[in-house]
């Protein structure tokens, strides 16, 4: 599904910390890639994403508080069609 990825990094010489990242990603999904019922028409969706990330203030104290309005928030369920996809599955882990 991911067709191309371009990544460029700027690293500080003194600290070896990342300073900036630029990414360009192209993803293509077709009706053949998804576990969905046959449709009258085949389709292809193309997504182009460009991202620039800036990194700064390393080792600085931070205070993060959950907004009161978010206390009772409910997570969104994943789209059922994506849960049935058998190709290109990705597993995630947390440390």
In the chain, domain spans? 1-32+42-57
Cα-Cα-Cα-Cα dihedral of 27, 29, 35, 41, to 10°? 170
This prediction's pTM: 0.56
| Cβ within 8 Å of residue 74, ≥6 positions away | none
Q: How far is CA 30 from the centre of its chain?
A: 19
Residues of the chain with confidence (pLDDT) below 70: 39, 78-95
**pLDDT digits 0-9 by tens, 68-88:** 989 888 877 765 555 454 445
């Amino acid at each position: 599904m991911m067709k191309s990825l371009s990544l460029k990094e700027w690293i500080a010489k003194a600290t070896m910390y990342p300073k900036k990242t630029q990414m360009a990603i192209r993803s293509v999904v077709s009706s053949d890639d998804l576990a969905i019922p046959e449709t009258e028409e085949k389709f292809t969706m193309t997504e182009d994403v460009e991202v620039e990330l800036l990194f700064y203030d390393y080792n600085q104290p931070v205070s993060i508080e959950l907004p009161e309005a978010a206390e009772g928030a409910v997570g969104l369920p994943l789209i059922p069609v994506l849960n049935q996809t058998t190709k290109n599955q990705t597993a995630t882990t947390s440390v």
